[in-house]
Structure 1
Amino acid sequence: MSIQKTPVIDLGCCNQCGVCIDVAPHVFKINDAGYVDILSLDSYEDDEDILEAVKNCPKDCISWE
């Protein structure tokens, strides 16, 4: 059984710029408190949009766990 990687956001450095939401709206959203949430998916691996969001995050606060 393989362990699946999941994207995580360091909310301490996230400035809610919205790049991740623009690139991968099926994965990232702003919650009612104004922070970025990661939506629950069966698998995050091999999702090019997530890789683009990680690459384009201006604060480098999206990583894999």
Structure 2
Amino acid sequence: MMKRPVIDLGSCILCEICVEVAPHAFEIGDSGFVQVRPLDDYQDENILEAVKNCPKDCISWEED
């Protein structure tokens, strides 16, 4: 089973820290909200750092 980050858009303040720290995993979508890019593995150091540094703790982990 793989863990993947999930964003609580209701809590997200669009600070874009996740996008700055791990642009390969997070992006601002066409709708203007942060979204998770499709990857085969989300366990690299930059993604973990992005989740840890979210000021609103709105990124959680979900198992596929």
TM, length-normalised to structure 1: 0.91
Identity, % of aligned positions: 65
- 5+ residue gaps, structure 1: none
Matches within 5 A, 1:11-50: 11-45=9-43, 47-50=44-47
2:59 corresponding residue in structure 1: 62
- 5+ residue gaps, structure 2: none
TM-aligned CA deviation for residue 32 of structure 1 = 1.0
Cα separation, 1, equivalents of 2:17 and 2:3 = 21
Instruction: Tell me the matched-pair count.
Output: 62
Would you say 1:6 and 2:33 are equivalent positions?
no
Alignment root-mean-square deviation, CA = 0.6
One-letter code aligned to 2:47: I
Q: Which runs of 4+ in 1 moved over 4 A?
A: none
Between structures 1 and 2, the one with greater strand share: 2
Is the radius of gyration larger for structure 1 or structure 2? 1
Over residues 16-40 of structure 1, what are the superposed CA-to-partner deviations in whole Å (9 max), with x where a residue is unaligned? Answer: 1000000000000001111001000
